[in-house]
Chain A
Amino acid sequence: MTTATAPVLQAKGLVKVFGRVVGLNDVDLTLYPGEVLAVIGDNGAGKSTLIKCLSGALVPDRGSLFVDGKEVRFKRPRDARDAGIETVHQTLAVAPALDIAANLFLAREIRRKGILGSVFRMLDTREMKKQAADHLERLGIGTLQNIDQAVETLSGGQRQSVAVARTAAFGGRVVILDEPTAALGVRETGQVLQLVRDLRDQGLGVILISHNMPNVFEVADRIHIQRLGGCAGVITPQSHSMEDAVAIMTGAKKLSPEVS
């Protein structure tokens, strides 16, 4: 991790409420290029709300966002994507009736070359299928035999792989993964963790939400701990143990003021 470089993504003072329920309470987050930032916290701690604010899925009530130091305002998921931020949401956000290739290229379809594409707006289905197969192959999840398969016929783990593949294939600057391994077996989880490392090594910033402490401590450079809608602190696998992390997460222990 090279903290000398400027943050690729930064959030300051994010607040998000749902009616009377506080989802996020004055949360700061800093993500550097080429690092894995894990976000941990109990259920309801605001992890998903936080990444939804970072990915344009929710518009925060207060606070500001910066990409490469420039202030941005995401009104819709598309805005974040255009800024190079790709997200796997906990709810997966795949179109069940569309096939795997169509899902990978949803909202960024490739058109045919020449007049067929420019005037008749014809999609280049073959090219998209080819690229989709390549992406899945590269991620080692080519086990999805049939790229023509509708996503609704896939298992939960396979759907998760499709969602992760979409993010990895198109991630420009930042990749955000909200519990991407929740439905995965040991082998697939290993693949996703390897993918996280690969993306980091390519210089992307990666935010990983996970409940699996060993996984988190295995891949994370820094760990952002959410608690009751606020940030309870940022630690590193070197500075703290897993037990510390869980204690801070549950409020059994307070983090002394620290430098991160």
Chain B
Amino acid sequence: MTTHVESQAAPAPAEEFLNRPATPAQRIHAVLHRQPALSPAIVLVLAAVMFSLVNERFYALQNLSLVAQQVAVVGALAVGQTVIILTAGIDLSIGAVMVLASLLMAKLVADHHWPGWLALLAGAAVATAAQAVNGLLVTRVRLPPFIVTLGTLSIFTALSLIYARGRTVSLQPGTFLTWSGETVSLGQLHLTYGVLLVIALYAVVGYALRHTAWGRHLYAVGDDAEAARLAGISVNRVLLSAYVVAGLTVAVAAWILIGRVGGGDPNSGLNANLQSITAVVIGGTSLFGGRGVVIGSLIGALIVQVFVNGLALAGMDPNYQVLAVGILVIAAVSVDQWIRSVKS
């Protein structure tokens, strides 16, 4: 087109206003908008510095090793929780599925003398199937994820208690399933293989979210499901895949839980459901879907553990730990609300 040159005229006042230099707040907003894990990372560093100043035992490698080991189970669960929350879903049952899978694995070995690796596969199959039930109820019956998983939370918890008859299952140390609880020492840092598993899990899922079409479609569906559908994405398939992938990460979490507990315990991981959501939210992933990165959830889990650990070292009443976590959650969601408000 060679006509219509008139729109090249001098900028109108509104145009000038739109192109005005950004205020500092707007610049911060823009950066946080692009880097969802940045604000939790800053909080983690600040918290670590603060607790180190209060008590120098905090940054002893021994203490940091403890923090890492304590964070492993929730950190692993938070991976699956992130994938689900990115689709604008939520999973209240994720911890219950983990406990069910860990009991099954432990009992297959202890009572039925299965080889550990086979029990692990069986547990993974059950965890994946349980999460597929959640996913099918969300996609086929079209129930809200909150309601679905509120129901299956009770169901899976009850199944665990019935299956275990209220008893714990102990496993021999030094076997396949308890390997995840064994220590690996890197100098003064005493990690467990479970911690390494968690790191690997974040690397794999982080890669899949960032570098594969599946990851992009997951974000697109969480962002605007109808737009994603019109663009040619099979929304239901993506949603179901989120729950199935979560099932696989739950299996890893179950293995780590066995390592920590030394077997299966129907009463372990009672708070893991909500703790995983807390980690994801503090980690900067939006509950409205479509925004967040999985590494943020690891940072979120670490922040919680650093506060719990740091406040304990500072000699505070344990109730303050709970209080602090509550404040963190509210603060994180407030920041998310601000970040999602797009100015343009």
Interface residues of A (CB under 8 A from B): 57, 76-78, 81, 87, 89, 91-98, 102-103, 106-109, 111, 120-123, 125, 140, 150, 152-155, 185-187, 190-191, 194
Q: Is the CB of A81 within 8 A of B211?
A: no
Which B residue sits closest to A93, measured CB to CB?
B230
Collect the chain B residues with CB atoms within 8 Å of residue A152's CB. Answer: 342, 344
Collect the chain B residues with CB atoms within 8 Å of residue A187's CB. Answer: 1, 4, 7
Min distance, Cβ A16 to any Cβ of chain B, angstroms: 16
**Docked pose: A122 CA to B208 CA in angstroms:** 8
The answer, yes or no, to whether B233 is at the interface (CB within 8 Å) is yes
Min distance, Cβ A84 to any Cβ of chain B, angstroms: 13
The answer, yes or no, to whether B213 is at the interface (CB within 8 Å) is yes
**Docked pose: A185 CA to B217 CA in angstroms:** 32
Min distance, Cβ B126 to any Cβ of chain A, angstroms: 27
Min distance, Cβ B242 to any Cβ of chain A, angstroms: 16
Please choose the segment from B53-61, B194-202, B221-229 that sits at the chain A interface, where 4 or more of its residues have CB less than 8 A away: B221-229
Given contacts A95-B219, A96-B223, A155-B344, 11 further A-B contacts (CB under 8 A): A76-B232, A77-B230, A77-B231, A93-B230, A97-B223, A98-B216, A106-B233, A107-B232, A123-B212, A187-B1, A190-B4
Which A residue sits closest to B214, measured CB to CB?
A121
A interface, over-half SS: loop
**Docked pose: A91 CA to B89 CA in angstroms:** 23
Partner of B232, one of A81, A94, A154, A191: A81
Which A residue sits closest to B30, measured CB to CB?
A153
Chain B interface residue bracket vs A: 20 to 34
The answer, yes or no, to whether B234 is at the interface (CB within 8 Å) is yes
Q: 19 A-B contacts, Cβ less than 8 Å apart?
A: A57-B229, A57-B230, A77-B232, A94-B227, A95-B231, A96-B227, A97-B291, A98-B219, A102-B216, A106-B228, A106-B232, A107-B217, A120-B211, A122-B212, A123-B212, A153-B344, A185-B7, A186-B4, A190-B1
Q: A77-B231, A91-B227 are in contact. Are A97 and B211 (CB under 8 A)?
A: no
Min distance, Cβ B309 to any Cβ of chain A, angstroms: 34
**Docked pose: A186 CA to B131 CA in angstroms:** 52
Collect the chain A residues with CB atoms within 8 Å of residue B211's CB. Answer: 120-123, 125
Collect the chain B residues with CB atoms within 8 Å of residue A186's CB. Answer: 4, 6-7
**Docked pose: A150 CA to B214 CA in angstroms:** 19
Partner of B227, one of A93, A108, A191: A93
Q: Is the CB of B232 within 8 A of A96?
A: no
Collect the chain B residues with CB atoms within 8 Å of residue A185's CB. Answer: 7
Which B residue sits closest to A107, measured CB to CB?
B232
Nearest 5 CB-CB pairings of A with B: A93-B230, A107-B232, A95-B220, A190-B1, A109-B213
Collect the chain A residues with CB atoms within 8 Å of residue B216's CB. Answer: 98, 102, 106, 109, 123
Q: Is the CB of B1 within 8 A of A78?
A: no
Collect the chain B residues with CB atoms within 8 Å of residue A155's CB. Answer: 344
Collect the chain B residues with CB atoms within 8 Å of residue A121's CB. Answer: 208, 211-214
Min distance, Cβ A55 to any Cβ of chain B, angstroms: 8
